[in-house]
Amino acid sequence: MPFPLTPGAATEMDPDMVYSRIVQNRFVLACLLLILLYVLISFGGKFYLPYHPNVQNLYEANTGPSCNHWLGTDYLGRDLLARILAGLRISLVIAFFATLINITAGFLVGSIAGLSGGIADRFLTGLIDLFWCIPPFLVVVMLTVVLEPGVKNIFIALGMVLWVPTARIIRGEVYQLRNAPFIRLARMHGAGYTRIVFMHILPNCFPVLLTTAIFSVPDAVLAEAFLSIVGLGVTAPEASLGVLISDGLQSFRVYPWQWFFPVLTLTIFVLCFNLLGDIIHRLFRDRSKGILEND
C-alpha cells in the first residue's frame, strides 16, 4: 500500500526560509535600498555634479545653501555637496576594505584557533588577547604614523585593528562547533582543515559573520572619522566625511551647515547599517520561535 507524503508538512525552520525571510523583510529592503542609493549617488556623482569637490572658488566661500550650491560651500569656496559625496566615496571605500580585511582575518584566525586546539590555539588566543589589550586607536595611530597617511594605509590600519573582536567571536563559535558530532565525523573520515572550515564551519558561522560584517562598516567609518578629527586621516585636498566634520567643527558657530550636512550624512549611513545589522541578527536569533509567551 503506497503511503503518500504527509500533506503540507513543511516546517518553519529550514535554513533557506531564514534567508528568504531576511530578503523579504521590509526594513531590510529599505535599509539596503538606502545604502545602494548612497553608493550610487556618491560614485555616480562624478558624472552629474556641476562642481568638482576640490575646485576652490574664493568668491563664493562660506555661502549657505542656495540654488547654486545646494548644501553651501566651505571656507575655500568648494561646493559642499560635491565634497560630501566625494567624502562618502572615500569613507565607503575605506569601510568596505577594512571590513573585508576584518572578517577575512578574523574568520581565519578564529577558526584556526578554535579548531586546532592545543598550542596553536593558545598562541593565537594569546595574540588576540594582546591586541585586545592595546587601545585600538593607539595601534591605528602608530600604524598611520609609520605608514604615512593616505587612503590605502588607513584601511589597512583599521583592518588590522578591527579583526580582533571578530576573531574572538568566531573562535567561540568554532570552539563550540568542534565537538559537534558532524564535525568529529568529518575528521574521522579524514577531512583536512580547509575542507572542514569551508564546508562546515563557514555556513554555520555565517549568521555571526554577516552581522559582524554589517556592524563593522559603521565602526570603520566612525574610526576613520575620529582619525580625521585628530588629524591622521586622509590628506588634503581629498576629504573623507571625518575630515569634513572636523573642518566643519571649526566654523560651527558661524557657518553651521558646514558641519551639519556631513554629520547628517554620516549619521544616516551609520544608522542604516546598525538597523540592518540589528534586524538581521534578530531574524537569525528568532529562527526557532516557539509558541510560548516569552519565546
The nearer residue to other proteins, 144 or 212, going by C-beta atoms, is 212
Residue 28 beta carbon to other proteins: minimum distance, rounded to whole angstroms: 17
Residue 11 beta carbon to other proteins: minimum distance, rounded to whole angstroms: 6
The nearer residue to other proteins, 1 or 236, going by C-beta atoms, is 1
The nearer residue to other proteins, 135 or 294, going by C-beta atoms, is 294
Residue 195 beta carbon to other proteins: minimum distance, rounded to whole angstroms: 7
Residue 276 beta carbon to other proteins: minimum distance, rounded to whole angstroms: 22
The nearer residue to other proteins, 176 or 267, going by C-beta atoms, is 176
Residue 205 beta carbon to other proteins: minimum distance, rounded to whole angstroms: 10
Greatest Cα-to-Cα distance within the chain, rounded to the nearest angstrom:
91
Residue showing cell 567571536: 169
Residues forming contacts to other proteins in the complex (CB under 8 A) are 1, 3-16, 180-182, 185-186, 188-191, 195, 199-200, 203-204, 206, 291-293
The nearer residue to other proteins, 1 or 119, going by C-beta atoms, is 1
